[in-house]
Amino acid sequence: MARGKFLLKVAGCQMSFHDAEVLAGLLKQAGYTEAAAPAEADVIVFQTCCVRETAERKLYGQVNELRGLKREKPGLIVGLAGCLAQKDREKALQRCPHLDFVLGTQRLGDLPQILAALRDGCQGIVDVDEGANLEGLPIARAEGVRAYVNISYGCNNFCTYCIVPYVRGPEKSRPPAAVLAEVEEAAQAGYREVMLLGQNVNTYGRDLEEPTDFAALLRRVDKVPQLARIRYMTSHPRDFTEEMIRAVRETEKVCEHFHLPLQAGSNRILAAMNRGYTRERYLKLVAKVRSLVPGASITTDLIVGFPGETEEDFQATLDMVERVRFDAAYTFIFSPREGTRAATLPGQVTAAVKKERLARLNALQNRISRELNEALVGRVVEILVEGPSKNNPDRLAGRTRTNKLVHFTGPASLRGEQVKVRIKRAFTWTLDGDLVTPPN
C-alpha cells in the first residue's frame, strides 16, 4: 500500500550511512517512496552521529529547523535514529519536543511498527533497548559501485575518548555465512566493490560459536564472483596480525590500503587513551605492512588536544606523521563526550591550543599527502570508475586500489569498469589523469 514519501538526513561514518540504507529498505518495504525535498516528505528521519560535539549540535539545529514545516503540515512524522538517538534517549524529546520518535542503534527493525503506532495516535515514542537482532532487515543500497556490508556491530574497546561502545553496544560478529550471502547478493546486483564494516574488524569472529578471524573472512569473500574489489573499515592497530597482512597480500580483490588509526604519537597519551599499543609497536606494524605489501597506502586518524597533551606529546604525534608518511589522515580536535573517561580527566587543553595544534598537524600532513601524490605523476594506475566527478559532471571519478581519488575524461559507460589511467597532475587530496585503456 502506498503510504507517502520519506526523507533521510544522514550524518556520520560509513556505519551510519549503511544504517540509513537499512532504514530506507524498511520504509520502502512499508510502502513509502523517496521524497526529493523536506516539503514533500511525510516522514523525515535523521540518522545521526554523536562522536564529536560539533556533529551533535549541528544535528539538533537541523531537527529544530523543521519546527515550521511541522506546524504547516501536522501529519508530518519526524524521527531521530542512530548514535545520537541512542545516547540522548528521552532527553532528545526534551531538546526537540516536535520529534515523534527516537530510535536506537539496535532497534532499526522496529521502524515499521513505530510508524504504525504513530499513525494510530501514539506520541513521543522512545525505543532504545539493547540487544536486538539486526539480521535479515531489508537494505535499499545507495546507487554506485560500492556496497557496505556489516561484519560486526558494536565495540568492546572503550578507548577513553570514545562514545561508540556506549551507543553501539558490545561487539557482536555476524556469522561468515550471513556476511558472504550479503556480499554475493550485492555482487549479483551489480556492485563491484564491497566495504566490510565493523568498529574493529580485526577482532571479527572471536565471539562466534564457531570462532573464526578476519583473515579467514577476507579469504572467503575474495572468492565471491563478479566482485572487483574488497575494502574494510575500521582496523585497530593493536589487533592487526601478520596473518591479516598476508591475507591482503595473497588475495586478489582485497585492496592494498591500510587504514590504521594511530590517534596520538606519545606513549603516555596512547596509554591514557587505552589504545593498547605503543608508538614503537605501531611503527613495527607499519614496517611489516610495507615489507609484505609494497606500494600499499597507509592512512590514519589522529586526535589533537587529548587531556594532558603537552607540546612535547603533540611533537611526538608530528614525529610519527613524519616517520610513517601517511598517505592521508583524518584529523580531529578532542571533543569531550559525556560519560567517557576522558571527558573528566584533568588537564583539558584549551580550545585555542587545540585549534593551533590541528592547523600545524594539517599543514604537515597536507605537505606529505601532496608529496606522495606527486610521486605518482607519470605512473599508470588501475581505477575502478565510480561515475561522474562531484565537482565537474563532464569528468569521471574513480579510485586506485590504494584509495586515491582520480579524475579523468572518459565515456559515462565506463562506470563500474576497471580502467588504466596515467596520472598527470597531483593535488593534496586528488589526482588528475588520462585514460590509457581504450574504451570498448
In angstroms, how far apart are the furthest CA atoms of the chain? 65
Q: Which residues of 357-387 are buried (b: 16+ CB within 10 A; e: fewer)?
A: bbeebbebbeebbeebbeebeeeebbbbbbb
Neighbour tally for 68: CB within 10 Å: 10
Helix (H) or strand (E) segment spanning residue 209: none
Q: What is the DSSP letter of 254?
A: B
Q: Which does 47 bind (CB under 5 to 8 A by kind): ligand SAM, ligand SF4, none?
A: none
**Dihedral sign for Cα atoms in the order 247, 253, 257, 262:** negative
The nearer residue to ligand SAM, 317 or 389, going by C-beta atoms, is 317
Residue 335 contacts which entry, ligand SF4, ligand SAM, none (Cβ below 5-8 A, type-dependent): ligand SAM
Q: How far is the CB of 257 from ligand SAM (least distance, A)?
A: 15
* Strand residues in 178-315 grouped as ranges (E): 193-197, 229-233, 257-259, 297-304
Q: Which residues pair with residue 152 across a beta bridge?
A: 173
Q: Residue 337 touches which of ligand SF4, ligand SAM, none (CB < 5 to 8 A by kind)? A: ligand SAM
Q: Out of ligand SF4, ligand SAM, none, which partner does residue 158 contact, by CB within 5 to 8 A per kind? A: ligand SF4
**What is d(CA 262, CA 322) in angstroms, rounded to the nearest whole number?**
13
- Residue 412 three-state SS: helix
149/184 Cα distance (integer angstroms)? 11
**Nearest distance from C-beta of residue 213 to ligand SAM, angstroms:** 18
Nearer to ligand SAM, 329 or 406 (CB): 329
Residues that bind ligand SAM (CB under 6 A): 13, 51-52, 161-162, 164, 199-200, 234, 236, 261, 263, 301, 303, 332, 334-335, 337
CA pair distance 121, 99, nearest whole angstrom: 14
The C-alpha angle 112, 117, 120, rounded to 5 degrees, equals 130
List the single partner that 334 binds among ligand SAM, ligand SF4, none, CB under 5 to 8 Å by kind. ligand SAM
Nearer to ligand SAM, 130 or 301 (CB): 301
Write out 131-182 in H/E/C secondary structure.
Answer: CCCCCCCCCCCCCCCEEEEECEECCCCCCCCCCHHHHHCCCEECCHHHHHHH
Q: Taking contact as CB under 6 A, which single stretch among the options 67-75, 127-135, 153-161, 176-184 is the one that binds ligand SF4?
A: 153-161
Distance from C-alpha of 219 to C-alpha of 254, rounded to nearest angstrom: 9
Site string for ligand SF4, 22-61 (x = CB under 6 A): ----------------------------------------
Which of residues 161 and 408 has its CB atom nearest to ligand SF4 in the complex?
A: 161
Q: Which helix (H) or strand (E) holds 82?
A: strand 77-82
> Bridge-partner residues for 422, per DSSP?
380, 434
* Residue 387 partner contact from ligand SAM, ligand SF4, none using kind-dependent CB cut-offs of 5 to 8 Å: none
Are 24 and 44 within 8 A, CB to CB?
A: no
Q: Nearest distance from residue 355's CB to ligand SF4, in Å? A: 22
Residue closer to ligand SF4, measured from CB, 79 or 261: 261
Q: CB-wise, 158 or 429, nearer to ligand SF4? A: 158
One character per residue 154-173, x = contact with ligand SF4 (rule: CB under 6 A): -x-xxx--x-xx--------
**In contact, 377 and 423? CB cutoff 8 Å:** yes
d(C-alpha 376, C-alpha 428), whole Å: 12
Question: Which of ligand SAM, ligand SF4, none does residue 427 bind to, with CB < 5 to 8 Å depending on kind?
Answer: none
Between CA 324 and CA 345 the distance in angstroms is: 29
Compute the least distance from the CB of residue 53 to ligand SAM, in Å.
8
Which listed option, ligand SAM, ligand SF4, none, makes contact with residue 13 (CB within 5 to 8 Å by class)?
A: ligand SAM
Minimal distance, residue 120 CB to ligand SAM, in Å: 36
Residue 221 CA to residue 141 CA, distance in Å, equals 19
CB of 327 to ligand SF4, least distance (A): 20
Q: Which does 282 bind (CB under 5 to 8 A by kind): ligand SAM, ligand SF4, none?
A: none
Least separation, in Å, of the C-beta of 337 and ligand SAM?
5
Residues 179-238 that bind ligand SF4 (CB under 6 A): 199-200, 236
CB of residue 152 to ligand SF4, shortest distance in Å: 11
Number of residues that bind ligand SF4 (CB under 6 A): 10
Residue window 103-142: x/- pattern of binding to ligand SF4, with contact defined by CB under 6 A: ----------------------------------------
* Contact call for residues 287 and 247 (beta carbons, < 8 A): no
Binding site for ligand SF4 (CB under 6 A): 155, 157-159, 162, 164-165, 199-200, 236
